[in-house]
Amino acid sequence: MDKIAFIAADIPEAQNALRTLLSLYASHSEEEADVLVVLGGDGFMLQCLHRSMELGKPVYGMNRGTVGFLLNRYGEEGLLERLRTAEETILYPLRMRAANNTGSTFDALAINEVSVFRETREAAHIEIMVDGKVRMPELVCDGVMLATPAGSTAYNLSAHGPILPLGTNVLALTPISAFRPRRWRGALLPGIAQVNFRVLDGDKRPVSAVADNVEYRDIAHIEIEQEQNIALRLLFDPEHNLEERILNEQFIP
């Protein structure tokens, strides 16, 4: 963990921290580094995780943003020791394959969730299949999402979805403002499940698909499954590991 690559968001708090850390520690390229140290907020952390997937390097974030759920507290002293004692959490992203109304196809990865949303004032009508079996013939809604444990405390929680502890290998299927069936609140699925959303009446009721922050419009069909061939390595201080944070979220009133 001696070779560090610092990556900072383009905001004053992160840039000021970067200048200070560069005066204290040697910096290396992302390819040469043992570890990537990210300075910013949760959104920037997600961007860095996406762009560093192919490197396979551990990523240690320090919060220079707002919430900082995926990051450690910021500190300038003792960084090398913190990196050596940090605990590693492995996350597996979701792979989304989507096709639009003209047959064009798209492929994207999501660390938090894959979501579909109505594009107009008309509610979306979506058929939901799990492992090749139709489980919901027609969901009338503003949208629906499939969230990972790491993403279960983000948008999924805001949509009244369940919080998923790490290590459970479970995914949350959560509706967004479901109109019919009115009482459906979603489902818990095994991590190995393959989920398909088929958009009904897409010409009149167009739908977009979003993998984290990448959006595709006028989608007709979405296929989602966990990508086991890509392992994201996040580092956390022992007293602030991600599993403990997710557990704590369940007891916040």
Q: What is the CATH number of the domain that holds 35?
A: 3.40.50.10330
Residues 171 and 79 in one domain: no
Contact 159, 181 (CB under 8 A): no
pLDDT at 14: 97
Average pLDDT rounded to a whole number, residues 60-78: 92
Confidence of residue 208 (pLDDT cuts 50, 70, 90): very high
* Model pTM score: 0.90
- Of the candidates 141, 209, 212, which has an alpha carbon nearest to the alpha carbon of residue 175? 141
- For residue range 77-118, list pLDDT tens digits in order: 999 999 999 999 999 999 999 999 999 999 999 999 999 999
Beta bridge partners of 129: 134, 196
Dihedral sign of CA atoms 74, 50, 118, 159 in order:
negative
Confidence of residue 168 (pLDDT cuts 50, 70, 90): confident
> Above 80 in pLDDT, residue 242?
yes
Average pLDDT rounded to a whole number, residues 185-202: 96
């994201």: which residue's tokens? 232
Residues 124 and 80 in one domain: no
- For residue range 120-143, list pLDDT tens digits in order: 999 999 999 999 999 999 999 999
Residues 108 and 185 in one domain: yes
Number of structural domains in the chain: 2
Confidence of residue 16 (pLDDT cuts 50, 70, 90): very high
Give the residue numbers spanning the domain of 58: 4-91+231-249
pLDDT at 66: 85
- Whole-angstrom CA distances from 206 to 143, 175, 177, 186 are 11, 17, 17, 22
Q: ∠ CA 117-118-120 to the nearest 5 degrees? A: 145
The active-site residue, picked from 34, 42, 212, 218, is 42
Is residue 34 part of the annotated active site? The answer reads: no
Residues 76 and 60 in one domain: yes
Residues 129 and 181 in one domain: yes
């290998």: which residue's tokens? 169
